[in-house]
Amino acid sequence: MTPSTNPLPIIVPTPRAVGVQPRALATGVVLVIGACVSLQFGAAVAVQLFPVLGPWGVTTLRLGLAAVVLLGLVRPRIRSWTRAQWTAVVLFGISMGAMNGVFYAAIDRIPLGVAVSIEFLGPLVLAALLARRWVDGLWVAVALAGMALLAVDSASGDEALDPVGVLFALVAGAFWMAYILTSKRVGALVPGSGGLAVALVVATAVVAPLGVPGAAGAFADPALLGLGLLVALLSSVVPYSLELNALRRLPPAVFSILLSLEPAFAALFGWLLLGQESGLLRTLAIVLVVAASAGVTLTARRLTPAGSRRGR
């Protein structure tokens, strides 16, 4: 998965937006749902390339092609960047590359919906640590209850979850925490999308040592290269663009709650495109993670005083 550019837990709701037009609200909702659909559909397509290119090869191909597309569109003016900007972008790229590589390694071993649900623990834990309130800990407990159900399902079901895949998903969640913090830093220091474009180059370099042998095979087969480009567009370029436009129309709280649907979309496309069935316990586990993700946003402390300017 490519987590969203503005992941759920880092957005603290501010007082209810005044004067949000219904049409803009409806458009924003459609854009966010479109981003979620594109992201998880892209992940499901990527899984089908694993037998040929391997998960690290697909990661390298996807990030590299996305970097080329964004560099061509954005053309960042890197000569004027300061050391602080470069440091922020490089750290952002490292966390992005590691997060994507380990996540693709996870969905090579366990179902897509399960992997996204486990990975969501990273942002939820970060939200609880930053908030330091009992109610946020309660939402993390709800998500952990979902993980416990996954463990029970794995132990009692016909097909146990691959423990290495589960470990990869947990590590991806940890890198997602780093991604959240570094992306926020880049957003504050680097204007526009130039930081994202260069970070994608760094991310490609991070996964290249493990992924170049597999990715190279795509350049000998136009069909594989075309699918790789499709994954890059679906999992990076399209969702980033949709989310950016959605944030211009939606209050942060609404945006965050909608993003909490990602595990559900992941399970849906895992079932539709990959034939990954979800039994009762797995479905309930995913529902708990979605509920925890939405809950941590709905109950977030409103830090902005009434009457002050809204901010992200």
For each of the chain's 312 residues, which pLDDT tens digit applies? 444 444 443 333 333 344 456 777 778 778 888 888 898 888 888 988 999 999 999 999 999 999 999 898 888 888 889 999 999 999 999 999 999 999 999 999 988 888 888 887 777 777 667 666 677 677 777 777 877 777 676 666 656 788 899 999 999 989 988 887 887 788 778 887 788 889 999 999 999 999 999 999 889 889 889 999 999 999 888 887 787 677 667 665 566 666 667 777 777 777 777 777 767 777 787 788 777 767 766 665 543 333 332 332
- Model pLDDT, residue 158: 58
Q: Which two tokens stand for residue 215?
A: 């990715």
Q: How many CB atoms within 10 Å of residue 151?
A: 15
- Model pLDDT, residue 248: 65
- Model pLDDT, residue 304: 37
190-205 burial: b if 16+ Cβ within 10 Å, else e: beebbbbbbbbbbbbb
- Model pLDDT, residue 95: 92
Q: Which of 292, 272, 284, 293 lies closest to 153, judged by CA?
A: 284
- Model pLDDT, residue 10: 39
Q: Which of 252, 312, 258 lies closest to 29, judged by CA?
A: 258
- Model pLDDT, residue 57: 95
* Cα 167 to Cα 49: distance, rounded to the nearest angstrom: 22
- Model pLDDT, residue 311: 30
Q: Specify the 3-state DSSP secondary structure of 54.
A: coil
Predicted TM-score of the model (pTM): 0.77
- Model pLDDT, residue 118: 84
Q: How many CB atoms within 10 Å of residue 310?
A: 13
- Model pLDDT, residue 297: 61
